[in-house]
A = this chain, B = another copy of it.
Amino acid sequence: MRKLENLQALIATSVEKLAYPVYPAELYEPIKYILAIGGKRMRPALLLMACDLFGGDVEAALPPALAIEVFHNFTLMHDDIMDNAPKRRGRATVHEKWNNNVAILSGDVMLIEGYKLMMQVRNDLLHQVLDIFNDTAVGVCEGQQLDMTFETSNNITIAEYINMIRLKTAVVLGGALKIGALIGNADQTDADLLSDFGVNLGIAFQLQDDILDVYGDPEKFGKQVGGDIISNKKTYLLLKAQELSGSDELNTWLATAQFDAAEKVAAVTAIYNKVDVRRHAEAEMQAYAEKAFTALEKINLPEDSKQYLRDFADGLLVREY
C-alpha cells in the first residue's frame, strides 16, 4: 500500500502539470493561481488511496482525483467571494487579486474542467462515477447555502447543523473514496461502505474542528483559538450550550456588537465549561467516529488494509489539544 503522503505528493506534482489555455488570460490565470496556492491535497489523495487499497491502477485514478481537486478549488473560489474573504493561505483570494466577475466566471470554468477530468475514467464506470460526482457537487452547494442561511437564522437544531457539515465537508470525502474504490474494482457494497466510512469520518473531523476552535492548543491549531466564538459561528458547541444553558448570559454575548475579543472568548468558554459542552461534543464526535469504524469493519479487505484505514482515521481524529 502506498503511503498517503506519497499520494499527496503525486497529486501535488500532477496538479502542477495541469495545462490550461493562455487566452482569455482573465479566465485561465486565476485557475492556475488558485491551484498553485496548494493545500494538503487530501481529497484527491483519498481517491487514489481507495483505488490502491482495492489493488487498482493508481495512474488510472489520477484524472478523477485531479477532478476532485479542481472541483474543490472551484468551491473555494466561489466561497471566498460569498464569504468576502481577502486571503487564503496567506495569498490574496481570486476576487481580491482580480475582481468578483473574474472569480465567478473562472470558477464556472473550473467546474466544467472538473467534469472533463472526471470523464477520463473507464467507459464502463463513466455513468456511475459522474452520478456520484453530481451528487457530491450538489451536496457541497447545498451545504454552503445552509451554512450561509444559518448565519442569520436563530433556531438551528443540532440535527440541521450536522446535516450542514455532512453536506459541506463530509460528502466529498465519501464521494472521493467511493470513486477511487470503484476504479480499483471494488464491488458496490464495499464502495458504499468506504463511502460511509468517509462521510462519518468527515463529520467527526468537523466536530473535532469545532472543539479545537475553543479548546485547541494555540501553538498547534493553526487558526485563531476562539475564532468561532468571536464571530458567533453556530457550531455544535454553541448550539449544544444554548440547549443546555438555562441562563441568558450566552445569548447576551451573542447579541453584543461591541466587545473585547479576549473577554468574550473567556466568558463564553466559561459558560461552555459550566454546562460541560466539551464532553457532549466529544461524545458526538466519538459517535460519528464509531459509525465510520463500524462501516470500515464490514469492508471486504485484508486486515492490513483495514489497519491502514484505521491508522489514517486515528491520525485525522487524534490531534493535539
- The residue in A105, A111, A142, A148 that gathers the most chain B C-beta atoms within 10 A of its C-beta is A105
Residues in A61-104 with C-beta less than 8 Å from chain B: 78, 81-82, 100-102, 104
A18 to B130, CA, bound (A): 21
- In the bound complex, residues from chain B placing their C-beta under 8 Å from that of A134 are 112, 115-116, 119
Contact B105 A82 (CB under 8 A): yes
Choose one: B81, B119, B141; the contact of A109 (CB below 8 Å): B141
Q: Copy number of this protein in the oligomer?
A: 2
Known: A119-B130, A149-B26. A81 touches B104 (CB 8 A): yes
Known: A24-B146, A123-B127. A111 touches B111 (CB 8 A): yes
A145 at interface by CB-CB < 8 Å = yes
- In the bound complex, residues from chain B placing their C-beta under 8 Å from that of A109 are 138, 141-142
A27 at interface by CB-CB < 8 Å = yes
Residues in A6-64 with C-beta less than 8 Å from chain B: 24, 26-27
Residues in A126-153 with C-beta less than 8 Å from chain B: 126-127, 130-131, 134, 137-138, 141-142, 144-146, 148-149
Chain B: minimal CB distance from A119 (Å): 6
- The residue in A78, A81, A104, A123 that gathers the most chain B C-beta atoms within 10 A of its C-beta is A104
| A/B interface sample: 13 pairs, CB < 8 A | A24-B149, A26-B145, A27-B141, A78-B108, A81-B104, A82-B104, A105-B144, A108-B108, A112-B137, A119-B127, A119-B131, A119-B134, A126-B126
Which 8 A-B pairs have CB atoms at the shortest separation, nearest pair first? A27-B145, A82-B101, A24-B145, A109-B141, A112-B137, A116-B134, A24-B146, A108-B141
